[in-house]
Chains A and B, each alone.
Chain A
Amino acid sequence: TQLLEQSPQFLSIQEGENLTVYCNSSSVFSSLQWYRQEPGEGPVLLVTVVTGGEVKKLKRLTFQFGDARKDSSLHITAAQPGDTGLYLCAGYANFGNEKLTFGTGTRLTIIP
């Protein structure tokens, strides 16, 4: 069974600060996705990373896929209250696989 461990589990910081969330596994994933889930809603895709070492930027969010495709990180610059939510990483074990393995989640709170 493939597991994705996210850290930290909870994070509460002041508006304007920077933060990094980590997603780690001992298994290799063909691709990895990050989702954000707000209260009362389902998860919404933020980004997909496919190539080992890949870095993608989405405004103030920077996503990195590890060289070995076993881990990923999400860095947020100058956090804003609108960034508050549950961040989930999820990976496909193999190309063509229909089953996503979800991480344990990081609950982020940005204090105005």
Chain B
Amino acid sequence: ETGVTQTPRHLVMGMTNKKSLKCEQHLGHNAMYWYKQSAKKPLELMFVYNFKEQTENNSVPSRFSPECPNSSHLFLHLHTLQPEDSALYLCATQGGAGQPQHFGDGTRLSIL
């Protein structure tokens, strides 16, 4: 139990669907992150939220839309995705600058 819970664990969707990924943390951390993990590529940072404010958008296409309604929840809204968006999407939290990050177990996303 890492204190970071992601749902759903698996998601299969068509390119025209709209879905959302959810991340919930019980660690009281102020920073939350979305990462994309694809085969043969390093972990790619997508978005960073600090105290519910987005502080980083790492040139992510607009078909990915993050939302952080409160300090415990982070969402990633998906719309009109492409086959190359199939990957493991990981949420992470951090308690302070330079501290380790705590990861959820990810959502395995497959785009048909």
* Pairs of residues from A and B, 7 with the lowest C-beta to C-beta distance, nearest first: A42-B103, A102-B43, A96-B97, A45-B100, A102-B42, A41-B105, A42-B105
* Interface membership of B55, Cβ < 8 A: yes
Mostly helix, strand, loop or mixed at chain A's interface?
loop
A30 B98 Cβ-Cβ under 8 A: yes
* Interface membership of B50, Cβ < 8 A: yes
* Interface membership of B78, Cβ < 8 A: no
**Measured between C-beta atoms, what is the minimum distance from A61 to chain B in Å?**
16
A95 B43 Cβ-Cβ under 8 A: no
A44 to B90, CA, bound (A): 12
Mostly helix, strand, loop or mixed at chain B's interface?
strand
User: How many residues from A make CB contacts under 8 Å with B?
Assistant: 24
30 cross-chain CB contacts under 8 A: A31-B98, A33-B100, A40-B105, A41-B105, A42-B2, A42-B92, A42-B103, A42-B105, A42-B106, A43-B101, A44-B2, A44-B103, A48-B100, A90-B43, A92-B98, A96-B97, A96-B98, A97-B97, A97-B98, A98-B31, A98-B48, A98-B50, A98-B55, A98-B56, A99-B56, A100-B45, A100-B101, A102-B42, A102-B43, A105-B42
What residue in chain A is nearest B9 (Cβ atoms)? A40
* Interface membership of B72, Cβ < 8 A: no
A37 to B31, CA, bound (A): 21
B45 A43 Cβ-Cβ under 8 A: no
Q: Do A103 and B31 form a contact, CB below 8 Å, given A96-B97, A97-B98?
A: no
